[in-house]
Amino acid sequence: MTYDQFVALLVFAFVTSITPGPNNLMLLASGVNFGFARTVPHMLGIGGGFLSLLLAVGLGLGAVLSAYPMLETALKVGGAAYMLYLAWRIGTSRSLSSGRAAGPRPMRFLEAAAFQWVNPKAWAMAASAMAAYASPAAPFVSVGFVALAFVAVNVPSVSTWAGFGVALRQFLSEPARLKWFNIAMGLLLVATLWPMLR
């Protein structure tokens, strides 16, 4: 990989990681509702799950799904159902949480990692990155390199969304504002289903 290609990969990883999508909307809501420290497992789960998705797509899973459209359809339906559940969870959350008492909780590492496998934006990012930057001449090395470059950029990028949420906590400590913020976040998460279901 040339220096120019490496810079292009880092820019691509940054732009696709920092722009709004299901992960970033959920991190914004989690930062508001649970604070930054309790959102860290969610952020790390995104990085870990996306790393596994990148490696799988780079090593041939994307081709398998293309060959078997029913698998792709099942993945889309399952992903849509799970995203609707998450949107409902966010939209019905009504109080800021600072402790670890029973009740609403932030997404755990494994939940966030598994979510990458049903996240339409994550699939599009993984397929695009591997098509553009992985080399057929050295598939294992180039796939690993693309995956590691993405994780190095992805985790800090998505963390900014949780930080934005934390910055809004004071303003949203008023229950009515928090209620409407969470409803708006739930509806925006539902809206991200549109590209997947077209």
DSSP secondary-structure letter at 173? G
Q: Does some domain include residue 33?
A: yes
At 133 the three-state DSSP class reads helix
Q: In whole angstroms, give the CA distance from residue 28 to residue 93.
A: 13
In a domain, 176, yes or no: yes
* Tens-place pLDDT, residues 68-106: 888 878 877 887 888 888 888 888 877 676 555 556 788
**Is residue 96 in some structural domain?**
no
Is residue 72 included in any domain, yes or no?
yes
Inside any domain, residue 4: no
For 112, how many CA atoms within 13 A lie in the half-sphere containing its CB? Answer: 25
Q: Are 155 and 12 in contact (CB under 8 A)?
A: no
Look at residue 3 and tell me if it is in a domain.
Answer: no
Q: What is the pLDDT of residue 89?
A: 84
Token pair, residue 23, equals 């992960």
User: What's this model's pTM, rounded to 2 decimal places?
Assistant: 0.83
Is 56 inside a domain boundary?
A: yes
The pLDDT of residue 86 is: 82
Domain extent, residue 62, equals 22-91+102-197
The residue to which tokens 């591997």 are assigned: 130
- Cα distance between residue 9 and residue 15, in whole Å: 10
Is 68 among the domain residues? yes
Q: What is the pLDDT at residue 27? A: 95
- Separation CA 60–CA 154 (nearest Å): 22
The pLDDT score that the predictor gives to residue 195 is: 67
What parts of the chain have a pLDDT lower than 70? Answer: 95, 97-103, 195-198
Query: CA 93 to CA 91: how far, in whole Å?
Result: 6
pLDDT of 101: 54
Count of the separate structural domains present in the chain? 1
Question: What per-residue confidence (pLDDT) applies to 74?
Answer: 81
Pairwise CA distance, residues 166 & 150, whole Å: 25
